[in-house]
């Protein structure tokens, strides 16, 4: 089962590598990894999405918390969370495609980031399922390339 884990780590070189090695040593695949400085410059938030057995999750969290540079570990699935991903998609688009593309953007709450002679670059932020649906809709056009961020998440509520 997929789990979203948030770690607060010291903002130092190698801190993220230690976490990645922790999962690699246990042969756990990381589906998504996102890192950013937090509201305090001395720490960063590492958000991971991993496949892991529910029964062993507490042991995994304890192991993470014991790592050098790790300040705090939170299994966000336990308490609920708000999450977003970002996607930037470049599609082949002719002038006659513009109304259809704009309709998709309006429905999906996406925006146009750039328009070229033969392409349009679109952007959207939202939950993983909405991002996936947006990409599926754009397969009606030739997708030239896209970049998708990892999940960013924070615990919901107080």
* pLDDT tens digits for range 75-84: 898 878 999 9
128 pLDDT higher than 80: yes
The predicted model gives 88-111 an average pLDDT of 94
Would you say 87 and 121 are in contact if contact means Cβ atoms under 8 Å apart?
no
User: Do 121 and 113 contact (CB within 8 A), yes or no?
Assistant: yes
Residues 6+ apart with CB under 8 A from 25: none
pLDDT at 6: 93
Q: Find out whether 88 and 128 touch, Cβ atoms under 8 Å.
A: no
Instruction: Name the DSSP letter for residue 119.
Output: E
Full set of structural domains in the chain with CATH: 2-79 (3.30.70.260), 82-155 (3.30.70.1150)
**Predicted confidence band of residue 121 (pLDDT cuts 50, 70, 90):** very high
Q: pLDDT tens digits for 42-70? A: 999 999 999 887 777 788 889 999 999 99
Paired with 5 in beta bridges are: 48, 75
pLDDT digits (tens, 9 = 90+) for 7-34: 999 999 999 999 999 999 999 999 999 9
Q: What is the pLDDT of residue 31?
A: 93
pLDDT at 1 (0 to 100): 83
pTM: 0.83
Contact criterion met (CB below 8 Å) for 82 and 49: no
Provide the mean pLDDT of the chain.
Answer: 92
The side-by-side arrangement of strands in the sheet containing 2-10 is 30-37, 43-51, 2-10, 70-75
Q: Please name the helix (run of DSSP H) or strand (run of DSSP E) that holds residue 27, with its range, or none.
A: none
Helix axis angle, 98-108 to 128-138, nearest 10°: 170
Instruction: Please count the CA atoms within 13 angstroms of the CA of 96 that sit on its side-chain side.
Output: 0
What is the rounded distance in angstroms from the CA atom of residue 88 to the CA atom of residue 56?
36
């Amino acid at each position: 089962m997929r789990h979203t884990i948030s770690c607060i780590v010291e903002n130092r070189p190698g801190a993220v590598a230690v976490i990645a090695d922790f999962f690699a040593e246990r042969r756990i695949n990381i589906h998504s990894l996102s890192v950013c400085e937090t509201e305090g410059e001395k720490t960063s938030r590492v958000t991971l999405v991993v496949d892991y057995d529910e029964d062993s999750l507490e042991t995994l969290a304890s192991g993470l918390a014991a790592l050098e540079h790790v300040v705090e570990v939170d299994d966000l699935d336990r308490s609920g969370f708000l999450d977003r991903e970002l996607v930037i998609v470049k599609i082949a688009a002719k002038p006659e495609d513009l109304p259809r593309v704009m309709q998709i953007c309006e429905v999906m709450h996406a925006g146009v980031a750039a328009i070229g002679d033969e392409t349009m670059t679109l952007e959207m932020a939202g939950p993983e399922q909405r991002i996936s649906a947006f990409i599926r809709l754009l397969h009606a056009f030739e997708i030239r390339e896209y970049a998708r961020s990892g999940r960013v998440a924070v615990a919901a509520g107080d």
